[in-house]
Amino acid sequence: MNNYDKNNILNLLDSVSPDNADLLETLHIIQEHFGYLSKEALEIVSELLSLSVAHVYGTATYYADFRFVPPPETIIGWCSGPACLLKNGVGIRDAMLAVFGTELGEQLDNPSVEVCMAQCNGTCEQAPQIWVNNKVVGKLTAAKAIELARSIKEDI
Ligand code: FES
């Protein structure tokens, strides 16, 4: 992750001005670079685009894509698509959450891990599946999901 300070944010948004900027695109640029949107970044965007902080914050929080805390070391995307649901996707999700002792979308700090909802990516032949830091782990069973969650919990 990159150093999240005011100068870095300003450098990153060097070409952004109220005349040519798209708010969503600007927020995506920041999140892509830093991994999340800090309060300071939202304030800088507000200043840069001559929008109220409430407008910027309201837009950012409307979309599930944006994070407001640093991402964990391990992000597990749980596929909520129909093929995975038909093959016990919910059981797999619940088994992993039970091992981590968290809810969907809640970050466990130590180890730094989060199970979040993801959408079908078209590789349903691997259903039911999850993505561990974008790497597909497919044809899961609840038992394999528990084993994987325990090993992630022990390794970190
Ligand atoms: S439904 Fe899960 S990969 Fe398609």
Please write the tens of the pLDDT for every residue from 28-47.
999 999 989 999 999 999 99
Last residue of some domain: 62, 85, 105?
62
Which amino acid does the sequence have at 31?
Q
Residue 9 is predicted with a pLDDT of 85
CA of 68 to the centre of ligand 1 (A): 27
Q: Which atom of ligand 1 is nearest to the CA of 128?
A: 2
Residue 35 lies in a domain: yes
The best mutation among 92, 119, 124, 139 to test binding of ligand 1, ranked by most ligand atoms within 8 Å of the C-beta, falls on: 124
Burial of 41 (0-12, 13-18, 19+ CB in 10 A): buried
44 and 80 co-located in one domain: no
Interhelix angle 89-100/142-155, rounded to 10 degrees, is 30
Number of domains making up the chain: 2
Residue 1 lies in a domain: no
Residue 6 is predicted with a pLDDT of 81
The best mutation among 79, 90, 119 to test binding of ligand 1, ranked by most ligand atoms within 8 Å of the C-beta, falls on: 79
Residue 8 is predicted with a pLDDT of 85
Residue 43 is predicted with a pLDDT of 93
Place of tokens 């084993």: 147
Question: Could you tell me the residue range of the domain that residue 42 belongs to?
Answer: 6-62
Residue 69 lies in a domain: no
106 and 51 co-located in one domain: no
Name the token pair of 49. 């685009």
84 and 145 co-located in one domain: yes
107 and 140 co-located in one domain: yes
CA of 138 to the centre of ligand 1 (A): 10
Which segments of the chain have a pLDDT < 70?
A: 1-3, 20, 156
Residue 20 is predicted with a pLDDT of 65
Q: Are 137 and 99 in contact (CB under 8 A)?
A: no
Taking CA atoms, 128 is separated from 65, 112, 123, 133, 138, in Å, by 23, 24, 10, 17, 6
CA 27/CA 140 separation, integer angstroms: 35
Which amino acid does the sequence have at 104?
L
- Rounded to 10 degrees, what is the CA torsion of 50, 54, 59, 60? 100
